[in-house]
Amino acid sequence: MNRDIAFEMAVASVRFGIGVTREVGMDLAELGAKHVLVVTDRTLRILPPMQTVVESLEAARIRYTIYDRVRVEPTDESFLDGINFAKEGGYDAFVAVGGGSVIDTAKAINLYVTYPPADFLDYVNPPIGKGLPVPGPLKPLIAIPTTAGTGSETTGVSIFDLSRMHAKTGIANRRLKPTLGMLDPDNTRTMPPEVAASSGLDILSHAIESFTAMPFTDRPMPDSPKMRPAYQGSNPISDVWSMQALRMVAKYLVRAVADPSDDEARAQMLLAASYAGVGSGNAGVHLPHGMSYPVSGKVKTYHAPGYSADHPLVPHGVSVILNAPAVFRFTASANPDRHLQAAEALGANVSGVKSEDAGRVLADRITWFMRELNVPDGLKAVGYSSADIPALVEGTLPQHRVTKLSPRPANEDDLAKLFETAMVAW
């Protein structure tokens, strides 16, 4: 196998500052937008972030239409609902106001309306879809996150549940990146503590996964530069962003969840989400995310507290972190030093720790955060049992975009053991 010789750093533009949401109308006017589709969900439609966006658009005399039917943890059906809504609108720009579900839905709407495919799965990651490249530039999309977690405002990735598989997949292409991410700490004031905890733990796992991912030089050489994947493996630039995100999480996550009025902590977690998004959006994530997708997609009856969804829901950050301690115990042997660096950035004392203990130390530190933030105690606490493991493994296997970035390969038996270990966290 010819190994890759390069990585490509694709960075989204972001603007950070208290109150910057009020500038969105001026930005769209400068872009020449005539009719904007504002994408959000029904809960956010009546909350202050959306009110500020509407006031800004009206002040700039920008014509707009609101689509508020985004599903928390979107599916192919909910994506198609938004795509069909937008088809006839003649929109020349998009604004996403919400968390990762909203921003990912807006990315999909932008892509499928601008370049309609012959089949919905044409752009979807292989082996589930064809993974066709995006043919050209998309229309302007301004992302205004109201949670501090996914970092979707910085990435070219859009994730959804494929209903017939009961597992997540997605679309990954640099052209999906928003034109601008507006990071306004005022917009996270409405975030319930449970949402702050889940989204913050997503940041934590993004950063560790991208820092410990397979090196970019271990990937196969693409046939052409445009076929180099968005997720390329760990690299020297992503490493910087991921490690700083971990330091910020260590200092501010527990504070931000414990006290929503802690303006400094909330602002820093919003920044940390984008830091981790830049790192993971270029390096990629691996097994905790790959294993999380069936955990979210196959949920039976669990309804996460703090979320207004009208369907069973294991929030993305929770589904990721439940698997993380087991995974990092497993992967540490591939690069103990990186696992120890991650643990140290999160506040663990690693002095004198032997290489063979790196996975345990990192897993213990992650578990400490889980307990501090009242995360469910393992997969059993969200409704799974050992009888579900074959289905969970089956849902993980197609996630090649992320699982193949694991620094230590995991076969079906390995995955089954990891899910069994993750049944109880402590």
pLDDT by 10s per residue, the chain, length 426: 899 999 998 888 999 999 999 999 999 999 999 999 999 999 999 999 999 999 999 999 999 999 999 998 899 999 999 999 999 899 999 999 999 999 999 999 999 999 999 999 999 988 899 999 999 999 999 999 999 988 999 999 999 989 887 778 899 998 999 999 999 999 998 889 999 999 999 999 999 999 999 999 999 999 988 888 889 999 999 999 999 999 999 999 999 999 989 999 999 999 999 999 999 999 999 999 999 999 998 999 999 999 977 889 999 999 999 999 999 999 999 999 999 999 999 999 999 999 999 999 999 999 999 999 999 999 999 999 999 999 999 999 988 889 999 999 999 999 999 999 999 999
Which of 188, 209, 241 finishes a domain? 188
Q: Report whether 111 contacts 134 (CB < 8 A).
A: yes
**184 and 204 together in one domain:** no
**142 and 156 together in one domain:** yes
Domain count, the chain: 2
Domain of residue 306, CATH code: 1.20.1090.10
**370 and 248 together in one domain:** yes
**203 and 317 together in one domain:** yes
**220 and 331 together in one domain:** yes
**172 and 279 together in one domain:** no
Prediction pTM value: 0.93
- CA 315, 402, 99, 119 torsion-angle sign: negative
Cα–Cα dist 399/263, whole Å:
37
Which of 165, 188, 211 finishes a domain? 188
Q: How many residues does the chain have?
A: 426
**182 and 209 together in one domain:** no
Q: How many CB atoms lie within 10 A of CB 387?
A: 7
* Amino acid present at 135: P
Please check whether residue 4 lies inside any domain of the structure: no
List % helix, strand, coil for the chain (3-state, nearest 5). Answer: 55, 10, 35
Which of 155, 188, 221 finishes a domain? 188
**159 and 239 together in one domain:** no
User: Which pLDDT does position 337 carry in this prediction?
Assistant: 98
Residue 80 tokens read as 């198609």
**300 and 324 together in one domain:** yes
**404 and 261 together in one domain:** yes
Contacts of 368 by beta carbon, 8 Å cutoff, 6+ apart: none
Residue 220 domain boundaries? 193-421
∠ CA 154-139-269, nearest 5°, is 20
Please check whether residue 2 lies inside any domain of the structure: no
Cα–Cα dist 213/404, whole Å:
9
**215 and 253 together in one domain:** yes
**220 and 147 together in one domain:** no
Q: How many CB atoms lie within 10 A of CB 335?
A: 20
Q: Report whether 270 contacts 183 (CB < 8 A).
A: yes
Run of H or E including 115: none
User: Which pLDDT does position 311 carry in this prediction?
Assistant: 87
Please check whether residue 412 lies inside any domain of the structure: yes
User: Which pLDDT does position 165 carry in this prediction?
Assistant: 79
